[in-house]
Amino acid sequence: MKKIVTVLGARPQFVKAAVLSRVIKEHNEIEEIIVHTGQHFDANMSTVFFGEMEIPTPAYNLEINSLGHGAMTGQMLERIEAILIKEKPDAVVVYGDTNSTIAGSLAAKKLHIKIVHIEAGLRSFNMKMPEEVNRIITDRISDLLCCPTDAAIQNLSKEGFDHLPIQIEKNGDIMKDAVAYYSETSSERSSIISDLNLEVGNFVLATIHRQENTDDIEKLKSIFKALEEIHSDCEVVLPIHPRTKKIVKKYHIETTIKCIDPVGYFSMLELLKNCKMVISDSGGLQKEAFFNKKHCVIVREETEWIELVENGFAEIVGASTSKIVASFNQFKNKNSDFSRELYGNRVGESIHKSIIALLNK
């Protein structure tokens, strides 16, 4: 039986891995060893996901977190390399664009182990983002690129990947499978709507965590000012990221919006299913909003998921108070056709098939 090592570290990766791990288990053609780098270590952002989503328990938990990019990536690289030497996998699977992604990829490449990059080909075209650097390097050294969209395929083509010995597949967005599967039971697994006494369809779900917003105090203040103004019209609920919470406290940013601790995936699904719209700087949440038929105000200067903007499901507004409020007002009474097929179907099965093909080469 072929063996793969899956490297995970951040919350969105747990969600995506849950889908593929379930497919791998059903087919029983691959042995999967999970390595958790520990990048997200808060119980509500890590441990709870493995329990809620029935992800196999990681064989290794490196507990590497709360470090600068260099130190974190370096320690992950060293520790993952040792695991790969011990386990001798046929391939390493990485997701997305985190430090865990690049560390797992580099460790594998230097040991001549095949690399599968899931969610490949995405670009923000902003090289100041650590995530952009991570995804570009990971794509270039991978053996199989599992792309979610036509735009991702086009990005790779423009960068010359058509001329490289790399297997490129348009499999679709694996997050879609997760939302479809877990939405069926989320209301049974979470009572967050009643617990927070929220009015269905009459609250805004917000998340703010990207460093471009949290590390620029003027931007962060501008965003919170917009959320405060919107809150006077429609209640704003913000599951607050630990980094954001720390900075808000440090700079004494006063707010009356409903700030809550980070929540598990089922609670987040319930918030998405029942909110009016989403305001976020999260890439994953932009798509999850779409999957749950909600518009999204993107609090960034760019997005990797450009098809959402092109089709009118989301708008890029940056950190401008006036633009955030204007976008909220534009979307609050807008009706859109969310039945548009943008991200594929049975994505986990498609990716599994591509991995099998790679391993059998």
Tell me how far apart the alpha carbons of residues 355 and 260 are, in angstroms, rounded to a whole number: 39
Tell me how far apart the alpha carbons of residues 352 and 20 are, in angstroms, rounded to a whole number: 7
The structure tokens listed for 179 are 């939302």
Q: How far apart are the first and last CA of the chain?
A: 14
Tell me how far apart the alpha carbons of residues 211 and 3 are, in angstroms, rounded to a whole number: 36
Q: Which of 71, 21, 14, 16 is nearest to 43 (CA)?
A: 14
The structure tokens listed for 213 are 């917003």
Q: How far is CA 348 from the centre of its chain?
A: 16
In a 10 Å sphere around its CB, with 0-12 CB exposed, 13-18 middle and 19+ buried, how is residue 252 labelled? exposed
Spell out the residues 6+ positions from residue 86 whose beta carbon is closer than 8 angstroms to its own.
none
CA–CA distances in Å: residue 216 to residues 211, 213, 222, 244, 248: 8, 5, 10, 11, 11
Tell me how far apart the alpha carbons of residues 347 and 361 are, in angstroms, rounded to a whole number: 22
The structure tokens listed for 241 are 């990221």
List active site positions. Answer: 209
Helix (H, G, I), strand (E, B) or coil at 165: coil
Tell me how far apart the alpha carbons of residues 239 and 213 are, in angstroms, rounded to a whole number: 16
Helix residue ranges, H only, 159-206? 174-189, 192-195
